[in-house]
Amino acid sequence: MTAEKRPFVLYEYLRFFWQRKWWFLLVPLATIVLTVIAGWFLLQGEKYTGKAVVFTGSIDVKELTDPKNIEAKFPEVKNLDVVVPEEQYVQITVKGDDEQDVSRELKLVVSEYSQELKRHSQERIDVTTKYLHALEERERALQQKVDYYSEQIQSGRLNPEQLNDISDLLVESENNLTEVMERVNRIRGNLVFYEKPAVLSETVAKSKTYTGQLMAVGLVLGLFLTVVWLVLWKYILDARRYYSS
């Protein structure tokens, strides 16, 4: 049989598929089952997953925000994974087969890590506040100098040489005062807008099984294999019929 005598090849294939439509049910069902079973074996992991999200705030010290450094501080926690999904946030994940063990280990890591962040944060605030107080004392001393030099200049009791010296001292003190005031205002702003670390969430739940995704993959694979198999089947039947004639 030649190609010219078969103008409706597509119809013949569709009719062949329809006559064997049960294959579109049996093969996808089989591939779905096999894919899910294979996925369970290949992706089999711990039954429970504990996750916590910690906000690091204004802390940007690499020792406290680098995932590898954080994991190294908890060698006793085997299935620990730390990532930084975005700036100022640290995600801590602990996995295991026992829910209580996962919860305990997660609380341990989160508690110690958050306490370390808080200690560093408080030390930073204390040092900055102490520095601010020192600058404020410096500001008051300079302001007193400026007031004193201004009074001396306005008193009219200075000779030209003294007036020139006091004027130079006044200008120098005013410049120093302006610089100190800018630093004081900047540090006050830093303290006002300083963000303290905090634990945003802490949960323990059953690990994801990916059953839905595996079933979808099995379905698509099954339909594809069914079409390939039926096309090959039809082709072989046509080839045998052709050569037998």
The whole domain housing 34 covers: 1-43+210-245
Does residue 189 form part of some domain?
no
**Cβ atoms < 10 Å from Cβ of 112:** 13
**What is the per-residue pLDDT for 71?**
92
Does residue 62 form part of some domain?
no
**What is the per-residue pLDDT for 11?**
80
**What is the per-residue pLDDT for 5?**
56
Of residues 146, 80, 144, the one with CA closest to residue 112: 80
Question: Which of 15-24, 185-194, 235-244 is least confident?
Answer: 235-244
Q: What is the mean pLDDT of the chain?
A: 88
Q: What is the pTM of this model?
A: 0.66
Give the pLDDT confidence of 22-72 residue by residue, as tens digits: 998 999 899 988 888 887 777 666 678 899 999 999 998 888 989 999 999
Does residue 11 form part of some domain?
yes
Q: What is the DSSP letter of 207?
A: P
Give the pLDDT confidence of 143-172 residue by residue, as tens digits: 999 999 899 888 878 788 888 988 899 899
Tell me the backbone φ, ψ of residue 186, rounded to 5 degrees: -65, -45
Does residue 229 form part of some domain?
yes
Does residue 18 form part of some domain?
yes
pLDDT band at 3, cuts 50/70/90?
Answer: very low
How much is the average pLDDT of 121-138? Answer: 95
- Number of domains into which the chain is organized: 1
Does residue 69 form part of some domain?
no
How far apart CA 61 and CA 114 sit, in angstroms, is: 14
Side by side, the strands of the sheet bearing 89-96 are 80-86, 89-96, 48-55, 198-206
Q: CA dist 160 to 8, 12, 240, Å?
A: 117, 117, 124
**What is the per-residue pLDDT for 1?**
43
Give the pLDDT confidence of 194-244 residue by residue, as tens digits: 999 999 999 988 767 677 888 899 899 999 999 999 899 888 888 888 778
Joined tokens for residue 145: 């100098």
pLDDT tops 70 at residue 92: yes
Does residue 164 form part of some domain?
no
Does residue 82 form part of some domain?
no
